[in-house]
Amino acid sequence: MGKYRIRVATGDSLLAGSSNLVQLWLVGEHGEKDLGKILRPIRTREVQLEVEVSLYLGRLLLVKLRKHKSLVGFDWFCKWIAVQGPGTQGEAFFPCYRWVQGNEIICLPEGTARTMRDDPQNQFKKHREQELEERRKVYRWGFWKEGLILPIAGNSQWDLPRNERFLEDKDLDFSLSLAKVLKDLALKGTLDLTNSVRRLEDFSKVFPRGKTPLAEQVRNSWKDDALFGYQFLNGANPMLLRRSTSLPSRLVLPPEMEDLKTQLEKELQTGSLFEADFSLLDGVKPNVIIFKQQYVAAPLVMLKLQPDGRLLPMVIQLQPPRNGCPPPVLFLPSDPPMAWLLAKTWVRSSDFQLHQLQSHLLRGHLIAEVISVATMRSLPSLHPIYKVVSTGSGGHVDILQRATAGLTYRSFCPPDDLADRGLLDVKSSLYGQDALRLWGAISRYVEKMVSLFYKSDGAVKDDPELQAWCSEITETGLQGAQDRGFPISLESRAQLCHFITMCIFTCTGQHASTHHGQLDWYSWIPNGPCTMRKPPPISKDVTEKDIVDALPGLHQARTQKTFIKFLGRRQPVMVALGQHKENYFSDPGPQAVLKQFQEELAALDKEIEVRNAGLDLPYEYLRPSMVENSVTI
């Protein structure tokens, strides 16, 4: 019995408010009270209410709400509800951060995270079960192609749950920007069909005016061997390079190249020989663009690491050897300049293919989608790990299927991945350095959070919701990835921390490392051509015209530039890692851990900024202030 003071916060996005009336209930240990239709939420406003309740409710457990539509229903984005009164011990906080739609009743538990073990009287058991039952109706697994990981069910953005779509401000920016670039492409692209590229310099016609400083450096230096090698370490796709442990079996060296073999073996013995193998592309069916056949290669590049940190190419093989065919031509830095440049251009085009499909789409977006769907289907909003994780023509299908078969758990964890690829001690791998430091910061954050809620390994093993979440990711979403090292159960706090760190890093830092570089490295088309119009060369008699004829035509080049500029631009509506405004925890312990995490990220950001100030090619893709809090585009 007594007076309750209620505060209700509505979101800031354009359509967050609603003219519909909202009914509220207070639910306590000893009963519940229907407060009636007492709220009309307004965008960006915090509404305060005072109500008298004659019933003694005891400690508040839940706030329930229902939005009633009149003639027209308007969705409402509720951020949170706070209640102060008898039995609340101060102000009780009930986080929501989601859209309220239709007229269903939504239950908001108080913001203290709880595992099932933390609820021995089963006060929240029914709520947890009902929440997951409703979520599984909305978050359903879909199917695309055999051999691929599962997506969420749906054919367009409108099929997605409302809470998984962009908020209106970001959606408006996305739509208007896309409309503008498509309009420009339609106007200028039509003229391109009647024009042709005659010299390499003609690609300046489609070089973006809003270029980045690094893109300008790429344009000026793209022919240099040092920049070619640098991209394997710190470019748009730093995921392919590995230290050689032997000479690749596909590298067939003719007798007249005995000196090259000696050089390669010398670098191998000193541990300075590296390779980038694009065999994943071998035999992939190429596309047909505007009635013209395109071509794909599967190169192998051998590189040596210099004492000064530069990575320089030694030999390029554009195709694997074939039975019954002469050995493929090997291209060398000593070859005629145009022949060597064409070989490197073919490598850059192959890297574009694997970057966009394997490193960016599959390892960034599609894996993040699996983690997100599994989280919504398996962890109720009361669960502490939900609160941690939530803050946070056929050729292309063939590539994705092949890449999916090679997804290993270790490859998603930088300490393991960099060790397996022999890059841990390569100081010029700025991606590697920054990935390790960011992983470490995330890992320490996760360990502190987990220690608040799991006091022993047994507590982890005995959490059925946690085990269901892990299994849902590995066995269902990833389609049985336990044979590639992904766990199907979590047996200890250390294993849990490692798994959560992997999930967070994949959806934040790993995606950022393969997303941000697109505008820098692909704006100058010859450095990252999206397609090739001639077969790979089989001789070294090459002219500039041969290179131009192999590169994309002007129309295709402008199309590439348009979408790279659109997708690779800095997002105006962006939330950096750890800087989310949502407050999912009401207890002070997790809030203190989050504050420590934010401070560590700020310190790391400053360290990278200072380091970059002394570099000719600054590496910024893993600066915490540049890493988005989730995969969005």
What whole-number distance in Å separates Cα of residue 419 and Cα of residue 438? 16
Give 216-253 pLDDT, tens digit per residue.
Answer: 999 999 999 999 999 999 999 999 999 999 999 999 99
Residue whose structure tokens are 């990252």: 528
**Which residue would you say has higher pLDDT here, 293 or 349?**
349
Average pLDDT, stretch 540-553?
A: 96
Q: What are phi and psi of 143, to 5 degrees?
A: -155, 135
Write the burial class of residue 425 (CB in 10 Å: 0-12 exposed, 13-18 middle, 19+ buried): exposed
What whole-number distance in Å separates Cα of residue 102 and Cα of residue 304? 62
Residue 392 reports pLDDT greater than 50 = no
At a CB cut-off of 8 Å and minimum separation 6, what does 232 contact? Answer: 238, 240, 241, 274, 276, 301, 303, 311
pLDDT the model gives residue 391: 42
What whole-number distance in Å separates Cα of residue 55 and Cα of residue 31? 8
Average pLDDT, stretch 204-216?
A: 85
Give 115-164 pLDDT, tens digit per residue.
Answer: 888 888 888 899 999 999 999 998 999 998 888 999 999 877 777 787 77
What's the CA dihedral at 115, 116, 118, 121 to 10 degrees?
A: 150
pLDDT-derived band at 461, boundaries 50, 70, 90: very high
Question: In the chain, pLDDT over 90 holds for what percent of residues?
Answer: 67
What are 335's two structure tokens? 């070859």
Residue 631 reports pLDDT greater than 80 = no
Average pLDDT, stretch 183-207?
A: 73
Residue 344 reports pLDDT greater than 70 = yes
What are 227's two structure tokens? 């920049």
pLDDT the model gives residue 572: 66
4 contacts 26 by C-beta, under 8 angstroms: yes
Residue 169 reports pLDDT greater than 70 = no
Least confident of 61-75, 160-174, 227-241, 497-511: 160-174
What whole-number distance in Å separates Cα of residue 268 and Cα of residue 243? 9
Q: What is the DSSP string of 270-339?
A: TT-EEEEE-GGGTTPPPPEETTEE-B----EEEEEE-TTS-EEEEEEE-S---TTSPPPPEE-TTS-HHH
Residue 183 reports pLDDT greater than 80 = no
